[in-house]
Structures are given as structure tokens and as C-alpha cells.
A and B are shown apart, each in its own frame.
Chain A
């Protein structure tokens, strides 16, 4: 079972609903965020192009953060989701430095925090909070190993890309382009 998320950049309008929903669902303190929205614009007026992406931890298959964690707090959990066990984390921040996507941050309580793909919801058969709230329905989540899951089907249908594939992390966050 390999959980992955696909985000359709053609439909995303950059409203940042995913950011607020994640904040209220996961009690992320104000001033911190587990996911964020990036706008990339190219060109000269009026020949312009724009891509909008909602980014978060990529839950990489070959994640540098799990590899470098000295206590095992960063670990692979169900479906390949990368989680941080608060009680094992010492706050050394090696994982933060090792993440090429800058997806992690230090929670005010001292441990390292990041997107968890809302595993607590996924276990109950629900979708992550960001996917469930997105008004443009541009986010898909599911099991890559299941050929009939939403995410597998959409990746077969559309062109996609991942961020910095050359970093070798094998991310599970796909952007439909």
C-alpha cells in the first residue's frame, strides 16, 4: 500500500483553503503551516503562463529525513506515510535540514512537525482534510498500489511531474500539468 496525492495545477486557484483546513483539523498553531501554495509565473506581458501548486511534505519513498533521524522518531508508517513520533523526537532538526522541500518545521512544543496525510482520517476511510475541503476538487488521494484508486487513474490519464526528482527522494506528491 503506497499512499500518494495528486494535485491538478490546471484547476488549483491558489485559494489556500487547504492551508486553513489543515490548520483547524490538525491544531497547527497560528504562525505555522504544514502546507502552502506556490505560484510560478513565466513570461513577459502579455505572453504569460502561470502554474499554481499546493505543496506539503512529499512522503518520499527514499526520504532523507527518515534516513538521517538519529532516534528513529521519523519513520515510515502505514502506506509509506512518513510520520514523526513526538516522544522520540529530540528536536535536533537534522530532518529539517535534510528535507529538500523545506516541508518540516519545529513545533512550539519542541518536536518536529509536518504534514501527516491526515493518517487519523485516512484510517477511518476519509480523505485528508486538504483534499476534502478543496473547492475546486483539484486534489486526489489514494493508494498507488490499487490500480482503480482515484489517484492511480488520474496519473494514468494526465501528464504529471514531481518536484526536484533529481534529488532522488522518490516523492509521493504528484502535480498534474
Chain B
């Protein structure tokens, strides 16, 4: 028998008996950030490829979700801080080794960018909108002329936003569950999937819907592939990684992960979308909500289970 116990009564709040320092705020922000990244990515992508008019929802309407999601996400992040009054310290320095620093600055870039993009397309939602001040109209005209450049910037920064959340986790090798480089692409894919789902939902254009359903199917395929390889990687790795993987293969998080994230969040919507493409009538809201739900649950479960996985004791 092996007994390994702390005899001095350590009971640091949020640390003992099991690390639980990040609560709902972080996974919620990761989901919203991923969603915004997905939406903006497609908006930028199709702008660059000149298909604005083929996919008007993706380029002009869906991006309105982004600033709302990002603002809510930022509020959630702020609420998570324990030393709130000092939050501005994030912006007094940039640390290239710290994914969180990357994230802070990327957010600082993407949020205004998304608002700018929405400002450019405000007439799609509010046809009678008038900017009133000339300076605003001039600035917007400038960006409208250089839209491609703007789109490139948004493409790259939204990709960074989507992937950095996964890299943030994978940089913490102290939590064996997160110590895999698959997490970055997985989160990016999940964000893109959420973005396409939103577009499908908001779109009234049948061709666009079909295109994005196909895209979403591809992305779900990629996600499933990544998940399988993530587990293969864990099980072939060190003892702590095997134990981390076992959290999902018989451990406490098995049911939530496979049911909510994989089955309900990926496989079922995929089947529904295939059926949709085969001309069965499926209310579009079902697969969309399932995809969004799965994306959110993925973040929650990975965040919580990651804090349960550990090296010591």
C-alpha cells in the first residue's frame, strides 16, 4: 500500500483538495472568443476571396455576433480576476512567452476590429442608420476602400484568437490533460464550427446555408479526428497523461464528455446536416443549437477536467 498524504493540514481555498481555480467565467469566455473568431474568420475569408455577395450573411450579418460575444467574454474574464483593480496592468507590457499576454493583446486588436467591421456593414441591419459625424463617415470610407487589407488583418487575428485559447491551455504542462498540442487546433476547429453554425442559422440564402453546412461537416470531421488522436496520444504517453485520459475513459468526466460534446455536439448535428443536405426537412435551429452547446461544453469539460488532472498526490 502507498500512502501519500499532506500532514500539515494544507487547505488553501481553491487549491485543495483539488485545484478548482477557474470556474464558469473562463470556459464561457473561451467559447465566446472561439465563436467570435469563427464568425470573423469566415467573414474575412470570403471577403478576401471576393465572395461577399455569394455569402452575404457570413460576411455582413453574422459578424454582428462578434462584438457582443467579445464584450460579454471580456466581462466574464474581468469577473474572474481576483485583483480586479489592477486589470490594466495587462496592457502595460507584452510577454511573448505568455499565451495570456498574447490573448490580452489579441483581444485588444480583434474587438475594435470586429466593431469596425460591423460599423462598415451597419446598413445591412439598420438601413436608415446615419453616422451623423463627418469624421466617422470619412474614416469608414477609408476602411471601405482598403477592405481587403482589413480583411487580411482580421483573418490572421481571428485565427490567432481561435487558436490561442487552446495554446493557452497546452502551455500549462502542470495539468497533464492540457499538455497536448492538439488542443490549439481542436479549439480553433470548434470555434470555426460554432461560427459556421451561427451563419447557417442567420442565413436566408439557401446556397450559403448549404455551403456552410458542408464546411461545418468538414470541420466536425476534423474535430473528431483530432479528439481521437488526442486520446491516442495520451494513452501512449507517460503515467500522468494516461491518468488524465482515464478521466474520460471511465473517470468522472466520461459521460459528460462523450454524450454532450461528442455525440450531441458533433455527431448528431453532423447527421442532421447530412440529412438536411439530402433534402430532409430539419428545423435548422436544432443542429445549430447542438453545435453551439457542444462547443460550450467542450470548453467547460476540458477546463474543469484539466484542473482535476495533476502530477502530485
Q: How far is the CB of A60 from chain B (nearest CB, A)?
A: 11
B97: A residues at CB distance < 8 A: 67-68
Q: Is the interface of B mostly helix, strand, loop or mixed?
A: loop
Q: Which of B6-53 contact A (CB under 8 A)?
A: 6-15, 19, 21-22
The verdict on A70 contacting B175 (CB below 8 Å), with A39-B3, A91-B83 known, is no
Which residue of chain B has its CB nearest to the CB of A99? B174
The verdict on A100 contacting B312 (CB below 8 Å), with A67-B98, A70-B100, A87-B86 known, is yes
Q: Which of B163-201 contact A (CB under 8 A)?
A: 168, 171-175
Residue positions of B touching A, CB distance < 8 A: 1-15, 19, 21-22, 80-87, 89-90, 92-93, 95, 97-101, 103-104, 168, 171-175, 238, 306-307, 310-313
The verdict on A16 contacting B175 (CB below 8 Å), with A43-B1, A110-B83, A166-B238 known, is no
Q: How far is the CB of A52 from chain B (nearest CB, A)?
A: 8
Q: Is the interface of A mostly helix, strand, loop or mixed?
A: loop
What range describes how many residues of A lie at the interface? 35 or more
> What sequence of 0s and 1s flags, for each residue 31-54 of chain A, a beta carbon within 8 Å of any chain B beta carbon?
111001111111110000000100
| Cα separation A164 to B103 with both chains bound (whole Å) | 29
Which residue of chain B has its CB nearest to the CB of A38? B6
21 A–B contact pairs at CB < 8 A?
Answer: A14-B7, A16-B7, A36-B8, A41-B1, A43-B1, A64-B172, A69-B98, A70-B90, A71-B92, A88-B86, A89-B83, A90-B89, A92-B82, A93-B14, A96-B14, A97-B306, A104-B15, A106-B14, A106-B21, A163-B312, A164-B311
| Cα separation A71 to B80 with both chains bound (whole Å) | 16
Tell me if B175 and A97 are in contact (CB < 8 A).
yes
B21: A residues at CB distance < 8 A: 93, 96-97, 106
Tell me if A70 and B98 are in contact (CB < 8 A).
yes
Tell me if A93 and B82 are in contact (CB < 8 A).
yes
Q: How far is the CB of B285 from chain A (nearest CB, A)?
A: 36
B9: A residues at CB distance < 8 A: 16, 33
Q: How far is the CB of A135 from chain B (nearest CB, A)?
A: 15
Tell me if A37 and B8 are in contact (CB < 8 A).
yes
Select the residue from A69, A102, A164 with max chain B CB neighbours within 10 A. Answer: A102
B8: A residues at CB distance < 8 A: 14, 16, 19, 33, 36-37
Select the residue from B2, B97, B172, B238 with max chain A CB neighbours within 10 A. Answer: B172
Contact of B98 (CB < 8 Å), options: A68, A88, A110: A68
Select the residue from A73, A89, A96 with max chain B CB neighbours within 10 A. Answer: A96
A sample of 4 more A-B contacts (CB under 8 A), given A38-B7, A71-B92, is A14-B7, A69-B100, A98-B171, A98-B173
Q: How far is the CB of A75 from chain B (nearest CB, A)?
A: 10
The verdict on A105 contacting B13 (CB below 8 Å), with A14-B7, A36-B6, A100-B311 known, is yes
Which residue of chain A has its CB nearest to the CB of B18? A102
Which residue of chain B has its CB nearest to the CB of A87? B86
Tell me if B2 and A111 are in contact (CB < 8 A).
no
A88: B residues at CB distance < 8 A: 86, 89
Tell me if B86 and A68 are in contact (CB < 8 A).
no
B311: A residues at CB distance < 8 A: 100-101, 164, 167
Contact of A105 (CB < 8 Å), options: B12, B80, B99: B12
Tell me if A38 and B101 are in contact (CB < 8 A).
no
| Cα separation A111 to B81 with both chains bound (whole Å) | 9
B22: A residues at CB distance < 8 A: 93, 97
Q: Is A94 in the interface zone, CB < 8 Å from B?
A: yes
Which residue of chain B has its CB nearest to the CB of A65? B174
Which residue of chain B has its CB nearest to the CB of A102? B15
B7: A residues at CB distance < 8 A: 14, 16, 37-39, 52
Q: How far is the CB of A40 from chain B (nearest CB, A)?
A: 5
Tell me if B174 and A167 are in contact (CB < 8 A).
yes
A40: B residues at CB distance < 8 A: 2-4
Which residue of chain B has its CB nearest to the CB of A19? B8
